[in-house]
Structure 1
Amino acid sequence: MSEEKEKGRPLPPAPGSAEHAGIALANTWQVFSGGTRDLLADRERASSWLADNGLIGQGAALGDPCTARLRTLRHHVRRLLSATAGASEPPEDSITAVNAAIKAAPSATLIAWDRERGLHRVVTHPVDELTDSLLAALAADTAELLCGPDASRIAACAAAPCSRFYLRTHGARQWCSVRCGDRIRAARAYRRKSSA
């Protein structure tokens, strides 16, 4: 498959990305042979990704500074996932960045009432703190993943140059998707055939 066709086709969700927003965030940076795709490259794409993942309402939009903050958090989340997948020491600045994002938003939920839902709990914040709350939610999910029972299942796709992370569904799993596995198997078959 050509580079342009590969870049144009959306990748299937990696195992674990539906349950962990931190994995989904990390996988917004995608590497292909000869190129990359950044699902957070600008505020329109970032807002679309957030809305598609239920993190903001449809029609809501981030500004450029908030989009840059989201990309910075992604960078630190990727570094922490990479360290965990490789069983190496996590970068201290990435731990600090994720902790700062968690602490930036109020965590207390208040009581609210409306006729449709009755009494319910809400986190209230001014509009300018929406990004803090969004980043805190993503960072908190990442912290739960890295410190919870799924941490030992975090893996980086072994189909170079793929840059995605996933949760292993079984011990032998090496790839984030069937697409990556098929690509590697096809390359192996081609090498065997051409060397014969």
Structure 2
Amino acid sequence: MRVERLEGGGAPMLGEPLPIELANASYAVRGTLVDGLQRVEHVAAWFRDQRDRFAVPFDDRDLLSVTAEDLAATRALRDAVRTLIKAAVQRAEMPPGTTGTVGAVGAAETAAAVEVINRQVRVVPRWRELSWGEGPQALARSSADLMATARAEIAQQAVDLLGGSDIALLKACHAPGCVLYFLKDHPRREWCSAACGNRARAARHYKNVKQTR
């Protein structure tokens, strides 16, 4: 099979930081939650569509060698990142003095998600080497399997995101039926995409018209 023909799982590509982009591989269609990483092919297609964003390069052979173990590990990382993003957003949106809400992420769930991310960060040795062929440059290298290396890179970015100041910019899209997250990179941004913004404004307009009548 050619890499270009790999069928993706329909996960949206919004250009968010890689951990958020992976978390958004759980998305909704008409209010129904969809898993965008159901099959090995979906995982290979997801990494194919994102591969220009990774420091350690991988080629078509790596993508065509994705295994069931890669599927399980990628889904585990996706779910862990999503759990922690949800916890961070809930904490930020919680009214002062509130100790918890129905459906809030619990301490045990958070701890388990943290361990998944840290385990995937630790499993892969990575370093930078100096190249002088076309001028001096630092090249990322790893001795591990390339898919494991790519996951470790996402996990490391998740550590930096969730452990840094940008955690305050994490937002949940509140457009009708949407379950995606985004990094609020502009003060006026309220939705994960323009399509969700249009949907939310249409729903608000419909509600106002209905109340007026």
What is the SS of the residue equivalent to 1:181?
A: helix
Contact in 2 for aligned 1:33/1:161 (Cα 8 Å): yes
1:135 and 2:139 equivalent? no
What is the SS of the residue equivalent to 1:169?
A: coil
Choose from 52, 69, 94 the match for 1:65.
69
Q: What per-residue deviation string (whole Å, max 9, x for no partner) do you get for residues 115-156 of structure 1?
A: 678886442325xx3332121111001111112232110111
Report deviation, 1:107: 2.4
1:125 and 2:126 equivalent? no
Contact in 1 for aligned 2:173/2:179 (Cα 8 Å): yes
Q: For the structure 1 residues 11 and 92, does the alpha-carbon distance in structure 2 shift closer, same or farther, using more than 3 Å as the test?
A: closer
CA distance in 1, matches of 2:72, 2:60: 20
CA distance in 1, matches of 2:135, 2:39: 36
Unaligned stretches of 5+ residues in structure 1 = 1-7
Number of residue pairs the alignment of both structures matches:
182
Q: For the structure 1 residues 130 and 169, does the alpha-carbon distance in structure 2 shift closer, same or farther, using more than 3 Å as the test?
A: closer
Question: How many percent identity over aligned positions?
Answer: 26
Amino acid at match of 1:103: R
Choose from 44, 47, 55 the match for 1:47.
44
Counterpart position of 2:169:
153
Contact in 1 for aligned 2:124/2:152 (Cα 8 Å): yes
Choose from 75, 78, 90 the match for 1:74.
78
Unaligned stretches of 5+ residues in structure 2 = 1-8, 93-105
What is the SS of the residue equivalent to 1:108?
A: strand
Counterpart position of 1:191:
207
What is the SS of the residue equivalent to 2:34?
A: strand
Counterpart position of 1:38:
35
Q: For the structure 1 residues 143 and 9, does the alpha-carbon distance in structure 2 shift closer, same or farther, using more than 3 Å as the test?
A: closer
Amino acid at match of 2:89: A
Report deviation, 1:187: 1.5
What is the SS of the residue equivalent to 1:37?
A: strand
Q: What per-residue deviation string (whole Å, max 9, x for no partner) do you get for residues 73-95 of structure 1?
A: 00000011111112277611111
Cα RMSD (Å): 2.8
CA distance in 2, matches of 1:35, 1:161: 8
Instruction: Provide the TM-score with structure 2 as the length reference.
Output: 0.73
CA distance in 2, matches of 1:119, 1:190: 56
Counterpart position of 1:13:
14
1:96 and 2:121 equivalent? no
CA distance in 2, matches of 1:110, 1:186: 53
Contact in 2 for aligned 1:12/1:177 (Cα 8 Å): no
CA distance in 2, matches of 1:13, 1:119: 30
Deviates more, 1:171-180 or 1:41-50: 171-180
Report deviation, 1:36: 3.3
Amino acid at match of 2:202: A
Counterpart position of 2:193:
177
What is the SS of the residue equivalent to 2:47?
A: helix
